[in-house]
């Protein structure tokens, strides 16, 4: 059971203790659905293991506050434990602390200045095809409609604009099989893969400035596979490469760049997700930055579903209490004071206590 009346710190711990590795979110989705279903001012709907709760107060604007409920695989870091003001455990930073803030807002704020859609979705940490927000956009796009969105991703309490795109490619080298006792009669494809690694070692990632924010790209091998048997010279080796590219590039431009970098190799794209430009000059984003971030923002060095909201025509930013540099680590933790601060800042924004609420210009075309 989830007690939405409990302190946000204890709620974070409870969320972490309900295991929800990507593809195994059912228990946590059930608990969230039950808890929100008991909140009288919310309408709750579900799609697979995604739960959507909405207010319907007739406000002029609607904001979407979204967060994924899945985590990377556990490495002996569940259940959670607290030490020195830190809560340790898988998902503490990425991003069950952000989800805890969402749940507290959803339960506590019966009269926000905007109508709010709270989205809790599955399978963000795996291939884009399985992403729960993508499924919602396909099955129930009406549930994601809004004038502005906040993704409660880990940002260390700093508003982060846009996000980088991500692309995975398989770079394949070929050889000729032979008995390892007569290796000179074959050609070793794994040895050939060394040329791919040479390219990666020599690669200088770009650090472009996009709309005033500094991004930092990355190009790295993440898997190497090859080999037939212990006594066979292999005839094929595959190096899987992940490219994190800045939002001044499209997916098509990113793919073209990779094919140029690996000229002469067999390159196949296996997974891709687009970037999102910062868009902090949008009135809703600018108002949020002033109200919650005291006018400060930086680039998001990673991919988030800000990109998916952007594709849906909803301007969005990243903001959450988790520390992004701790995401996916064995010793992942969140500062409990940061979770409380995030709840307070978001409450101030949604109640109008922190800065003026966003009011878009009237649509003269109507």
- Shared domain for 23 and 121, answered yes or no, is yes
- Shared domain for 155 and 18, answered yes or no, is yes
pTM, full prediction: 0.87
Report pLDDT for 355: 57
Task: Report the share of the chain in percent with pLDDT over 70.
Answer: 97
Residue from 25, 33, 70, 160 carrying the catalytic annotation: 70
Confidence of residue 366 (pLDDT cuts 50, 70, 90): very low
Asked if 167 and 274 touch (Cβ cutoff 8 Å), the reply is no
Which of 273, 296, 321 is the last residue in one of the domains?
273
In terms of DSSP bridges, do strands 86-88 and 81-83 run parallel, antiparallel, or are they unpaired? antiparallel
Q: Is 341 assigned a catalytic role?
A: no
Q: Is 331 assigned a catalytic role?
A: no
CA-wise closest residue to 298 among 206, 124, 167, 164: 164
364 belongs to a structural domain: no
Query: Residue 256 belongs to a domain with what CATH number?
Result: 3.30.70.360
Confidence of residue 354 (pLDDT cuts 50, 70, 90): confident
Report pLDDT for 365: 38
- Shared domain for 154 and 84, answered yes or no, is yes
Report pLDDT for 321: 97
- Shared domain for 57 and 174, answered yes or no, is no
Report pLDDT for 127: 85
Residue 84: pLDDT over 70: yes
Residue 231: pLDDT over 60: yes
41 belongs to a structural domain: yes
What is the number of structural domains in the chain? Answer: 2
Residue 140: pLDDT over 60: yes
- Shared domain for 223 and 144, answered yes or no, is no
Residues 6+ apart with CB under 8 A from 366: none
Residue from 33, 94, 122, 124 carrying the catalytic annotation: 124
Confidence of residue 54 (pLDDT cuts 50, 70, 90): very high
- Shared domain for 130 and 170, answered yes or no, is no
CA-wise closest residue to 353 among 74, 109, 153: 109
What mean pLDDT comes out for the span 341-345?
97
Radius of gyration of the chain (CA): 23
- d(CA 234, CA 226) in angstroms, rounded, equals 7
Evaluated on CA atoms 59, 102, 348, 355, the torsion sign reads negative
Which of 224, 244, 273 is the last residue in one of the domains?
273
259 belongs to a structural domain: yes
347 belongs to a structural domain: yes
Report pLDDT for 146: 96
- Shared domain for 236 and 203, answered yes or no, is yes
62 belongs to a structural domain: yes
Task: Report the share of the chain in percent with pLDDT over 90.
Answer: 95
Asked if 52 and 118 touch (Cβ cutoff 8 Å), the reply is yes
Report pLDDT for 362: 42
Q: What is the pLDDT of residues 174-219, one digit of tens each?
A: 999 999 999 999 999 999 999 999 999 999 999 999 999 999 999 9
- d(CA 280, CA 210) in angstroms, rounded, equals 11
Q: What is the pLDDT of residues 295-327, one digit of tens each?
A: 999 999 999 999 999 999 999 999 999 999 999
- Shared domain for 257 and 326, answered yes or no, is no
186 belongs to a structural domain: yes
Which of 273, 294, 325 is the last residue in one of the domains?
273
- Shared domain for 334 and 289, answered yes or no, is yes
- d(CA 95, CA 323) in angstroms, rounded, equals 9
What mean pLDDT comes out for the span 95-115?
98
Residue 357: pLDDT over 70: no
In terms of DSSP bridges, do strands 115-121 and 50-54 run parallel, antiparallel, or are they unpaired? antiparallel
CA-wise closest residue to 317 among 157, 148, 154, 156: 148
Q: What is the pLDDT of residues 9-36, one digit of tens each?
A: 999 999 999 999 999 999 999 999 999 9
What mean pLDDT comes out for the span 265-292?
94
- Shared domain for 100 and 13, answered yes or no, is yes
- Shared domain for 146 and 284, answered yes or no, is yes
- Shared domain for 54 and 198, answered yes or no, is no
What's the whole-number average pLDDT of the chain? 95
Query: Residue 131 belongs to a domain with what CATH number?
Result: 3.40.630.10
302 belongs to a structural domain: yes
Residue 119 phi, psi dihedral angles, 5° rounding = -115, 125
Confidence of residue 341 (pLDDT cuts 50, 70, 90): very high
361 belongs to a structural domain: no
281 lies in which domain range?
8-163+277-351
């Amino acid at each position: 059971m989830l007690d939405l009346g409990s302190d946000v710190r204890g709620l974070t711990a409870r969320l972490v203790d309900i295991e929800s590795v990507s593809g195994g979110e059912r228990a946590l989705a059930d608990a969230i659905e039950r808890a929100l279903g008991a909140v009288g001012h919310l309408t709750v709907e579900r799609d697979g293991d995604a739960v959507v709760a909405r207010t319907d107060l007739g406000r002029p604007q609607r904001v979407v506050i979204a967060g994924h409920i899945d985590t990377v695989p556990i490495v002996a870091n569940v259940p959670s434990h607290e030490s020195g003001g830190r809560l340790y455990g898988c998902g503490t930073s990425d991003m069950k602390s952000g989800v805890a803030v969402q749940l507290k807002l959803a339960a506590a704020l019966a009269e926000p200045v905007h109508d709010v859609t709270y989205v809790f979705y599955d399978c963000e940490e795996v291939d884009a095809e399985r992403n729960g927000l993508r499924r919602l956009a396909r099955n129930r796009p009406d549930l994601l409609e809004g004038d502005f969105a906040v993704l409660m991703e880990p940002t260390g309490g700093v508003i982060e604009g846009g996000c980088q795109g991500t692309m995975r490619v398989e770079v394949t080298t070929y050889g000729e099989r032979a008995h390892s006792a007569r290796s000179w009669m074959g050609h070793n494809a794994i040895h050939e893969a060394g040329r791919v690694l040479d390219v990666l070692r020599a690669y200088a990632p770009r650090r472009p400035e996009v709309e005033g924010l500094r991004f930092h790209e990355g190009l790295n091998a993440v898997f190497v596979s090859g080999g037939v048997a212990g006594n066979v010279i292999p005839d094929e080796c595959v190096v899987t490469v992940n490219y994190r590219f800045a939002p001044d590039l499209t997916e098509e431009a990113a793919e073209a760049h990779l094919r140029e970098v690996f000229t002469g190799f067999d390159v196949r794209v296996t997974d891709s997700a687009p970037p999102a430009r910062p868009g902090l000059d949008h009135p809703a984003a600018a108002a949020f930055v002033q109200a919650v971030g005291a006018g400060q923002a930086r680039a998001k060095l990673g991919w988030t579903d800000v990109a998916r909201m952007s594709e849906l025509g909803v301007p969005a930013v990243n903001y959450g209490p988790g520390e992004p540099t701790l995401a996916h680590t064995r010793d992942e933790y969140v500062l409990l004071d940061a979770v409380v601060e995030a709840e307070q800042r978001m409450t101030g924004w949604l109640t109008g206590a922190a800065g003026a609420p966003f009011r878009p210009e009237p649509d003269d075309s109507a």
